[in-house]
Structure 1
């Protein structure tokens, strides 16, 4: 067997590095607006949101480098994009930013506990996929409607963003959300300069927030955030790696991301987890023809996240000077594919469709009962409806 030519080996390594950089750029730009909207919705001011984004980038970047090098497989970490959308839906339900930070820390503990105790992992797996995805779809729906509302309120501001997203989506779907994000930054800059609200971004003041354990925040934010992160990020992330022929290091990953979330919570990190959609890039032949070498693509993605981290404050400052609804519009466009997948999964089982629709509508309603947000009640109502319908069907069949 002949050894690969040096030029061929160099080209493959270059391809691996490029794939890793693209993975991080797509992951960052396609969901940056979602995370920013989520942190702001739960009470973070611009400086706190900027520090939260920097912390998330550092945690997922360093974690990706460590896991990929340690296990020699293309493990890629990310922030919880569905979890950030949940934060938007839970706006006003937590008792301020410290309570939200406390919910983030508890979410991290639950993620770590899932890695330690198999029974807790089985508990998550026991939640019907249809109901978990229905809850997620209900959480995403109001945010995905944001571009529609913004188009009617400020058409000249939002129309260029939507138009670019649509054109790029037709040509290269992977780059549609990043392209819309870049256009939104340009619009924010132009509008801010015209209004005199845009200034040269400075460094944010770094202040850590002491977590506060609030019962309503734990039920309405921490528990749904854990479920959404596990069901929509960690479990699909494992499946993506398995489809590519890799076994995810489950316990080390859950412990690293869980305790990383706990440590990052005072700085505003809501959840770190396995990447789902972008995880397919480093694990594919596009990264390297040799599966044993694809871990280098994930490592390159991790280093790229570390390079992107210092840019977050400037991006937050730029977006903060833009018109209202712009960030939410970009976030809604970025989540359309996720919403479509969640809707499809929610109605996939005919026996669960009514229960799933109940959960979806309740989650989308945004109602607050006893201070607890709609995501928690959506799951409760969906489970009760599913149990009642199945019991009724069993009696009729007896």
Structure 2
């Protein structure tokens, strides 16, 4: 067996994050597994990332790279293995089941129509696909569905930054993020997600009713509500913004989608594969794990690289092409295995309502300015992408 090769540079510097797609692809092509300067091992090929995500006993979530138990972000689910993970996950699954979300469809759809009607007045203008479209929609409607109070919702953006900016390793971007005063965000989270503050008819109240049944503690219920608030927002609005970006870059695919709107869910899944909003998932090897002719030693902290695996030419034909008819059954955009995205149904409900309304109302999109990346080490996607909308 050969020694895992050292990757020649830091993949988390500002320059590397600005060019994350190319950097992550370089990691994938360098070797089946690579070692970073801090000893973390990155695994980026589709075959190996898939098997790593499925094998939670060998790749445990209990001690991820760069994990700080004192982090200000909610710490639950991502840092558990079965059986505890299974018990806690069921609480969220029940609260976000298709049946439970059925009654929220009308709320999402009405808000989507209202929002797109507002956009119609800006036809032909350069509009930011993130801050003025997808993020704005999610931040408007998701807290309503969860039952959060109106006061303090402007902290949603700060919450996104707090969660994702503190996931990666120490360095320039991490230090820059930690220099921000998150105290107001943390105070808002603490009060807005209190049981007494939320609407008893909202999804959040279901989490607390699980605590009444003894499935989780009251403190854990509050953490789970905060986790859903993050998971239902950030990756969803980034993926929807990427969908809009893809529709502008691949107008033939958008025309095909408008002709057959039943392809919308697959178009959303393809956006998730084409430019995944999370670069990686963190794990720790609990035993020696063989990756081709390399061995990851027990005790090694690892990154399983979703985004690079979702563009692996060993698995995907023309991976850089956005194709709404692609078979995405084995895309890793939703994760895989026991830690597969527990909020998938919620995200799909949000996307079906909003993107479905856009597809029905907007005849075409065009790029109207430069893409600006989200400058966090692990979260990935556009923080700004100006587009023009043509209605009809």
TM-score normalised by structure 2 residue count:
0.28
From the two aligned structures, give the one with the greater helix fraction: 1
Q: Which has the higher contact order (CA 8 A, sep 6+)?
A: 1
